[in-house]
């Protein structure tokens, strides 16, 4: 089994993974090493702080040996094919995580590997991030029912995974993005097939009204630097600030997958304020990564 898309998980799967992540969080340093003697290949076409550190620490604390493999070391898709890379790595390691530019690369890895493959980010989805977000939401509200999620900003890969997770969990979600940057018809249709009903809007205030969880991401993702000036112009209104938070429910929280461009998509006042769950969210990348690895690489064992 792999984790390529959050849509591969059922509601029960997600809740089981969150329970496991909570257990790892509560027993850090005392949860055993279920992956002892195993190795994890970590393919990174794109640089990262949280993804690399959380995966590497998670693997190490579970007893596995993480192997960081940069794009320059593998030359994925250039000399050796992605398929051959997957076949070879499968002879050496017990699992593969990959942070790639194209979702097609992660799909090829999964198609040709004989060990579990975990999507650590592609241009289409970021399932590991959304599991951490969901763990954070459940910690703050003690539930994953009767909540409204609001995404403010670019309808990107993280947004895609959040839309799909909301559909699986039967959560209300409103997405506010400028025209031309809204979620694609493809992901909206996929969400509807999963039973969801995402509400796509233009006005941030409309999405934020009575929301329990406000989520955002950078306006200029890696690879979009050539569009920076235009994006800064278009997204100027799509900021999580105190005015937007005041439209949300009184107990609402703000999430950001980081890195944040303070003063653009989120203000210092919100990021460092009492409604921010951003740094809990970042920590939970570690615990949810452990849960996924233990499930896929260790037959679901926690200890």
The catalytic residue positions are 99, 126, 129, 217, 257, 285
Q: Where are the beta strands (DSSP E) in the chain?
A: 39-44, 65-70, 95-99, 117-119, 148-152, 172-176, 199-201, 213-216, 253-256
Distance CA 298, CA 38 (A): 9
Q: Which residues pair with 124 in a beta bridge?
A: none
256-259: Cβ within 8 A, 24+ apart: 256/215, 256/216, 256/217, 256/281, 257/50, 257/126, 257/129, 257/133, 257/158, 257/217, 257/281, 258/49, 258/50, 258/282, 259/49, 259/218
Nearest partner of 104 among 89, 119, 88, 87, judged by Cα: 119
Residues 6+ apart with CB under 8 A from 250: none
């Amino acid at each position: 089994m792999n984790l390529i898309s959050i849509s591969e998980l059922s509601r029960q799967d997600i809740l089981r993974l969150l329970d496991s992540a909570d257990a790892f969080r509560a027993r850090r340093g005392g949860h055993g090493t279920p992956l002892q003697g195993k190795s994890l290949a970590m393919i990174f076409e794109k640089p990262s702080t949280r993804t690399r550190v959380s995966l590497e620490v998670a693997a190490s604390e579970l007893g596995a040996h993480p192997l960081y493999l940069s794009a320059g070391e593998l030359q994925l898709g250039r000399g050796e094919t992605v398929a051959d890379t997957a076949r070879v790595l499968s002879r050496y390691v017990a699992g593969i995580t990959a942070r790639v530019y194209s979702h097609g690369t992660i799909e090829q890895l999964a198609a040709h590997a004989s060990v579990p493959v975990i999507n650590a980010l592609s241009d289409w989805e970021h399932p590991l991030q959304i599991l951490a977000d969901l763990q954070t939401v459940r910690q703050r509200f003690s539930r994953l029912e009767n909540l409204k999620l609001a995404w403010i900003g670019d309808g990107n890969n993280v947004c895609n995974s959040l839309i799909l997770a909301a559909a699986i969990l039967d959560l209300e979600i409103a997405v506010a993005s400028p025209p031309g940057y809204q979620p694609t018809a493809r992901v909206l249709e996929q969400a509807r097939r999963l039973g969801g009903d995402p509400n796509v809007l233009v006005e941030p205030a409309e999405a934020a009204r009575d929301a329990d969880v406000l989520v955002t991401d950078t306006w200029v993702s890696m690879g979009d630097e050539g569009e920076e000036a235009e994006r800064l112009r278009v997204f100027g209104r799509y900021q999580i600030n105190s005015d937007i938070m005041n439209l949300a429910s009184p107990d609402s929280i703000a999430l950001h997958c980081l890195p944040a461009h303070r003063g653009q998509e989120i203000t210092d006042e919100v990021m460092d304020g009492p409604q921010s769950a951003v740094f809990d969210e970042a920590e939970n990348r570690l615990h949810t990564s452990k849960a996924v690895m233990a499930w896929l690489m260790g037959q679901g064992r926690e200890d």
